[in-house]
Structure 1
Protein backbone atom coordinates (compact mmCIF):
# COMPACT_ATOMS: atom_id res chain seq x y z
CA UNK A 1 0.00 0.00 0.00
CA UNK A 2 1.07 3.57 -0.62
CA UNK A 3 -0.24 6.42 1.49
CA UNK A 4 0.19 9.84 -0.09
CA UNK A 5 0.16 12.53 2.59
CA UNK A 6 -0.69 15.74 0.75
CA UNK A 7 -1.17 19.42 1.47
CA UNK A 8 0.44 22.80 1.03
CA UNK A 9 3.95 23.58 2.21
CA UNK A 10 4.03 23.79 5.99
CA UNK A 11 1.02 21.54 6.56
CA UNK A 12 3.17 18.84 8.15
CA UNK A 13 3.49 16.33 5.31
CA UNK A 14 7.07 15.35 6.08
CA UNK A 15 6.70 15.33 9.87
CA UNK A 16 3.48 13.32 9.79
CA UNK A 17 4.67 11.11 6.94
CA UNK A 18 7.87 10.14 8.75
CA UNK A 19 6.01 9.43 12.00
CA UNK A 20 3.37 7.39 10.18
CA UNK A 21 5.94 5.36 8.25
CA UNK A 22 7.95 4.74 11.41
CA UNK A 23 4.87 3.63 13.35
CA UNK A 24 3.95 1.18 10.59
CA UNK A 25 7.48 -0.04 9.84
CA UNK A 26 7.12 1.25 6.28
CA UNK A 27 9.41 3.17 3.95
CA UNK A 28 9.12 6.96 3.92
CA UNK A 29 9.74 9.04 0.81
CA UNK A 30 9.50 12.79 0.29
CA UNK A 31 8.38 14.03 -3.13
CA UNK A 32 10.67 17.03 -2.68
CA UNK A 33 13.60 14.68 -3.33
CA UNK A 34 12.26 14.10 -6.85
CA UNK A 35 12.54 17.78 -7.87
CA UNK A 36 15.32 18.84 -10.19
CA UNK A 37 18.04 21.11 -8.78
CA UNK A 38 16.61 23.89 -10.98
CA UNK A 39 13.16 23.53 -9.40
CA UNK A 40 14.62 23.60 -5.90
CA UNK A 41 16.63 26.72 -6.73
CA UNK A 42 13.58 28.47 -8.19
CA UNK A 43 11.54 27.70 -5.08
CA UNK A 44 14.41 28.82 -2.86
CA UNK A 45 14.41 32.15 -4.73
CA UNK A 46 10.63 32.49 -4.27
CA UNK A 47 9.71 31.66 -7.87
CA UNK A 48 6.61 29.46 -8.16
CA UNK A 49 6.97 26.41 -10.38
CA UNK A 50 5.21 26.25 -13.73
CA UNK A 51 3.36 23.25 -15.15
CA UNK A 52 6.39 22.67 -17.40
CA UNK A 53 8.64 22.64 -14.32
CA UNK A 54 6.42 20.11 -12.59
CA UNK A 55 6.01 17.64 -15.47
CA UNK A 56 9.34 15.76 -15.04
CA UNK A 57 8.81 15.78 -11.26
CA UNK A 58 5.38 14.16 -11.61
CA UNK A 59 6.70 11.63 -14.13
CA UNK A 60 9.51 10.63 -11.74
CA UNK A 61 7.02 10.29 -8.88
CA UNK A 62 4.68 8.16 -10.97
CA UNK A 63 7.56 5.88 -11.99
CA UNK A 64 8.57 5.45 -8.34
CA UNK A 65 4.98 4.71 -7.32
CA UNK A 66 4.65 2.08 -10.05
CA UNK A 67 7.90 0.47 -8.94
CA UNK A 68 6.84 0.42 -5.27
CA UNK A 69 3.54 -1.18 -6.24
CA UNK A 70 5.26 -3.75 -8.46
CA UNK A 71 7.63 -4.63 -5.62
CA UNK A 72 4.79 -4.61 -3.04
CA UNK A 73 6.72 -2.05 -0.98
CA UNK A 74 4.62 -0.20 1.60
CA UNK A 75 5.44 3.50 1.38
CA UNK A 76 4.30 6.74 2.95
CA UNK A 77 4.90 9.50 0.41
CA UNK A 78 4.84 13.16 1.45
CA UNK A 79 3.72 15.07 -1.64
CA UNK A 80 1.99 18.41 -2.11
CA UNK A 81 -0.24 17.02 -4.93
CA UNK A 82 -2.04 20.35 -5.00
CA UNK A 83 -4.04 19.87 -8.20
CA UNK A 84 -6.55 17.19 -9.08
CA UNK A 85 -4.71 16.45 -12.34
CA UNK A 86 -1.50 15.73 -10.37
CA UNK A 87 -3.33 13.39 -8.02
CA UNK A 88 -5.02 11.56 -10.89
CA UNK A 89 -1.62 11.13 -12.55
CA UNK A 90 -0.17 9.66 -9.36
CA UNK A 91 -3.13 7.48 -8.33
CA UNK A 92 -2.29 4.65 -10.72
CA UNK A 93 -3.97 2.02 -8.50
CA UNK A 94 -6.91 3.32 -6.47
CA UNK A 95 -7.10 0.10 -4.46
CA UNK A 96 -3.53 0.23 -3.19
CA UNK A 97 -2.96 4.01 -2.98
CA UNK A 98 -4.67 6.05 -0.28
CA UNK A 99 -4.71 9.85 -0.19
CA UNK A 100 -4.61 11.76 3.10
CA UNK A 101 -5.12 15.54 2.95
CA UNK A 102 -3.58 17.57 5.77
CA UNK A 103 -5.88 20.57 5.92
CA UNK A 104 -5.20 23.76 7.82
CA UNK A 105 -5.89 27.46 7.75
CA UNK A 106 -3.64 29.91 5.96
CA UNK A 107 -2.83 31.65 9.25
CA UNK A 108 -1.79 28.45 11.04
CA UNK A 109 0.39 27.30 8.15
CA UNK A 110 1.94 30.74 7.72
CA UNK A 111 2.89 30.72 11.41
CA UNK A 112 4.49 27.29 11.00
CA UNK A 113 6.48 28.45 7.98
CA UNK A 114 7.74 31.47 9.89
CA UNK A 115 9.06 29.13 12.60
CA UNK A 116 10.59 26.61 10.19
CA UNK A 117 14.32 26.66 9.50
CA UNK A 118 16.56 25.05 6.91
CA UNK A 119 13.90 24.50 4.25
CA UNK A 120 14.08 25.81 0.71
CA UNK A 121 10.38 26.70 0.46
CA UNK A 122 10.03 30.30 1.62
CA UNK A 123 6.94 31.67 3.31
CA UNK A 124 6.43 34.01 0.35
CA UNK A 125 5.28 31.06 -1.79
CA UNK A 126 2.48 30.05 0.59
CA UNK A 127 -0.13 32.16 -1.20
CA UNK A 128 0.79 30.55 -4.53
CA UNK A 129 0.34 27.13 -2.89
CA UNK A 130 -3.15 28.03 -1.67
CA UNK A 131 -3.97 29.56 -5.06
CA UNK A 132 -2.97 26.33 -6.82
CA UNK A 133 -4.68 24.04 -4.28
CA UNK A 134 -7.68 22.12 -5.56
CA UNK A 135 -8.99 20.41 -2.47
CA UNK A 136 -9.56 16.71 -3.10
CA UNK A 137 -12.96 15.10 -3.00
CA UNK A 138 -13.68 11.70 -1.47
CA UNK A 139 -10.48 11.49 0.52
CA UNK A 140 -9.34 11.49 4.11
CA UNK A 141 -9.27 15.01 5.55
CA UNK A 142 -7.16 15.52 8.66
CA UNK A 143 -7.18 18.77 10.66
CA UNK A 144 -3.57 19.83 11.22
CA UNK A 145 -4.36 21.80 14.38
CA UNK A 146 -3.74 18.54 16.29
CA UNK A 147 -0.35 17.21 17.33
CA UNK A 148 1.56 15.14 14.75
CA UNK A 149 1.10 12.06 16.96
CA UNK A 150 -2.68 12.58 17.07
CA UNK A 151 -2.75 13.07 13.30
CA UNK A 152 -0.87 9.79 12.80
CA UNK A 153 -3.28 7.97 15.09
CA UNK A 154 -6.27 9.44 13.20
CA UNK A 155 -4.83 8.29 9.88
CA UNK A 156 -4.23 4.78 11.19
CA UNK A 157 -7.73 4.63 12.64
CA UNK A 158 -9.42 5.80 9.45
CA UNK A 159 -7.38 3.47 7.24
CA UNK A 160 -7.71 0.64 9.79
CA UNK A 161 -3.98 -0.12 9.74
Structure 2
Protein backbone atom coordinates (compact mmCIF):
# COMPACT_ATOMS: atom_id res chain seq x y z
CA UNK A 1 0.00 0.00 0.00
CA UNK A 2 2.85 2.34 0.84
CA UNK A 3 4.46 1.80 -2.56
CA UNK A 4 1.28 2.82 -4.36
CA UNK A 5 0.98 5.91 -2.16
CA UNK A 6 4.59 6.89 -2.86
CA UNK A 7 4.00 6.35 -6.57
CA UNK A 8 0.96 8.64 -6.45
CA UNK A 9 2.96 11.30 -4.60
CA UNK A 10 5.76 11.04 -7.17
CA UNK A 11 3.21 11.44 -9.98
CA UNK A 12 1.71 14.52 -8.33
CA UNK A 13 5.20 15.97 -7.86
CA UNK A 14 6.04 15.26 -11.48
CA UNK A 15 2.79 16.86 -12.71
CA UNK A 16 3.33 19.98 -10.62
CA UNK A 17 7.01 20.41 -11.47
CA UNK A 18 6.51 19.77 -15.19
CA UNK A 19 4.03 22.68 -15.29
CA UNK A 20 6.04 25.06 -13.06
CA UNK A 21 9.66 24.59 -14.14
CA UNK A 22 12.27 27.35 -13.87
CA UNK A 23 16.05 27.55 -14.16
CA UNK A 24 16.41 27.65 -10.35
CA UNK A 25 14.27 24.52 -10.02
CA UNK A 26 16.38 22.75 -12.67
CA UNK A 27 19.53 23.50 -10.68
CA UNK A 28 17.89 22.42 -7.43
CA UNK A 29 16.63 19.20 -9.05
CA UNK A 30 20.11 18.46 -10.43
CA UNK A 31 21.60 18.79 -6.92
CA UNK A 32 18.77 16.71 -5.45
CA UNK A 33 19.24 14.04 -8.14
CA UNK A 34 22.98 13.84 -7.41
CA UNK A 35 22.22 13.58 -3.69
CA UNK A 36 19.68 10.78 -4.25
CA UNK A 37 22.07 8.87 -6.52
CA UNK A 38 24.97 9.16 -4.09
CA UNK A 39 22.75 8.21 -1.14
CA UNK A 40 21.44 5.14 -2.95
CA UNK A 41 24.94 4.08 -4.02
CA UNK A 42 26.04 4.45 -0.41
CA UNK A 43 23.09 2.34 0.75
CA UNK A 44 23.82 -0.34 -1.85
CA UNK A 45 27.43 -0.75 -0.74
CA UNK A 46 26.98 -0.37 3.01
CA UNK A 47 23.46 -1.69 3.54
CA UNK A 48 22.47 -2.55 7.05
CA UNK A 49 18.81 -3.00 7.85
CA UNK A 50 17.58 -0.14 9.92
CA UNK A 51 15.28 2.80 10.27
CA UNK A 52 16.64 4.51 7.13
CA UNK A 53 15.14 1.80 4.90
CA UNK A 54 11.85 3.67 4.98
CA UNK A 55 13.44 6.91 3.75
CA UNK A 56 15.40 5.14 1.03
CA UNK A 57 12.10 4.22 -0.61
CA UNK A 58 11.32 7.93 -0.81
CA UNK A 59 14.76 8.52 -2.32
CA UNK A 60 13.92 6.08 -5.12
CA UNK A 61 10.57 7.81 -5.71
CA UNK A 62 12.21 11.24 -5.83
CA UNK A 63 14.90 9.96 -8.18
CA UNK A 64 12.33 8.40 -10.51
CA UNK A 65 10.24 11.58 -10.50
CA UNK A 66 13.25 13.76 -11.31
CA UNK A 67 14.41 11.36 -14.03
CA UNK A 68 11.04 11.50 -15.77
CA UNK A 69 11.12 15.31 -15.79
CA UNK A 70 14.16 15.15 -18.10
CA UNK A 71 15.40 18.63 -17.12
CA UNK A 72 18.55 18.05 -15.07
CA UNK A 73 22.14 18.35 -16.21
CA UNK A 74 22.57 14.58 -15.92
CA UNK A 75 19.63 14.01 -18.27
CA UNK A 76 21.06 16.44 -20.79
CA UNK A 77 24.45 14.73 -20.69
CA UNK A 78 23.13 11.17 -20.89
CA UNK A 79 20.30 11.61 -23.40
CA UNK A 80 22.13 11.31 -26.71
CA UNK A 81 22.52 8.84 -29.55
CA UNK A 82 25.64 7.23 -28.08
CA UNK A 83 23.90 6.51 -24.75
CA UNK A 84 20.89 5.12 -26.64
CA UNK A 85 23.21 2.82 -28.59
CA UNK A 86 24.89 1.65 -25.35
CA UNK A 87 21.45 1.01 -23.87
CA UNK A 88 20.47 -1.16 -26.83
CA UNK A 89 23.80 -2.95 -26.67
CA UNK A 90 23.86 -3.71 -22.94
CA UNK A 91 21.49 -6.71 -22.81
CA UNK A 92 23.00 -8.57 -25.81
CA UNK A 93 26.51 -7.94 -24.42
CA UNK A 94 25.48 -9.21 -21.00
CA UNK A 95 23.87 -12.34 -22.44
CA UNK A 96 26.66 -13.05 -24.92
CA UNK A 97 29.38 -12.47 -22.34
CA UNK A 98 27.82 -15.07 -20.05
CA UNK A 99 27.56 -17.49 -22.98
CA UNK A 100 31.16 -16.94 -24.08
CA UNK A 101 32.51 -17.31 -20.53
CA UNK A 102 30.44 -20.48 -20.05
CA UNK A 103 31.78 -22.00 -23.27
CA UNK A 104 35.39 -21.08 -22.43
CA UNK A 105 35.21 -22.47 -18.90
CA UNK A 106 33.11 -25.59 -19.60
CA UNK A 107 34.50 -26.77 -22.92
CA UNK A 108 38.02 -25.39 -23.09
CA UNK A 109 38.89 -25.41 -19.39
CA UNK A 110 40.11 -21.83 -19.65
CA UNK A 111 40.71 -19.87 -16.49
CA UNK A 112 39.62 -16.26 -16.90
CA UNK A 113 42.42 -13.73 -16.45
CA UNK A 114 42.10 -9.99 -17.00
CA UNK A 115 43.36 -10.17 -20.60
CA UNK A 116 41.01 -13.06 -21.42
CA UNK A 117 38.12 -11.22 -19.80
CA UNK A 118 38.93 -8.21 -21.95
CA UNK A 119 38.93 -10.35 -25.12
CA UNK A 120 35.64 -11.95 -24.04
CA UNK A 121 34.11 -8.53 -23.44
CA UNK A 122 35.24 -7.28 -26.86
CA UNK A 123 33.81 -10.41 -28.50
CA UNK A 124 30.56 -9.96 -26.57
CA UNK A 125 30.30 -6.33 -27.73
CA UNK A 126 30.87 -7.32 -31.37
CA UNK A 127 28.37 -10.20 -31.19
CA UNK A 128 25.90 -7.97 -29.32
CA UNK A 129 26.15 -5.27 -31.99
CA UNK A 130 25.57 -7.88 -34.70
CA UNK A 131 22.59 -9.30 -32.82
CA UNK A 132 21.09 -5.82 -32.50
CA UNK A 133 21.56 -5.16 -36.20
CA UNK A 134 20.14 -8.51 -37.35
CA UNK A 135 17.21 -8.50 -34.93
CA UNK A 136 16.39 -4.85 -35.68
CA UNK A 137 16.44 -5.43 -39.44
CA UNK A 138 14.34 -8.59 -39.05
CA UNK A 139 11.72 -6.85 -36.91
CA UNK A 140 11.62 -3.80 -39.19
CA UNK A 141 11.24 -6.14 -42.17
CA UNK A 142 8.36 -7.91 -40.47
CA UNK A 143 6.66 -4.62 -39.68
CA UNK A 144 7.00 -3.31 -43.23
CA UNK A 145 5.86 -6.64 -44.64
CA UNK A 146 2.81 -6.62 -42.37
CA UNK A 147 2.00 -2.99 -43.20
CA UNK A 148 2.35 -3.53 -46.95
CA UNK A 149 0.08 -6.62 -46.79
CA UNK A 150 -2.62 -4.71 -44.93
CA UNK A 151 -2.75 -1.92 -47.52
TM > 0.5 fold call:
no
Instruction: Considering Cα pairs closer than 8 Å and 6+ residues apart, tell me whether 1 or 2 has the greater RCO.
Output: 1
| Rg (Cα) greater in structure | 2
Q: Which has the higher helix share?
A: 2
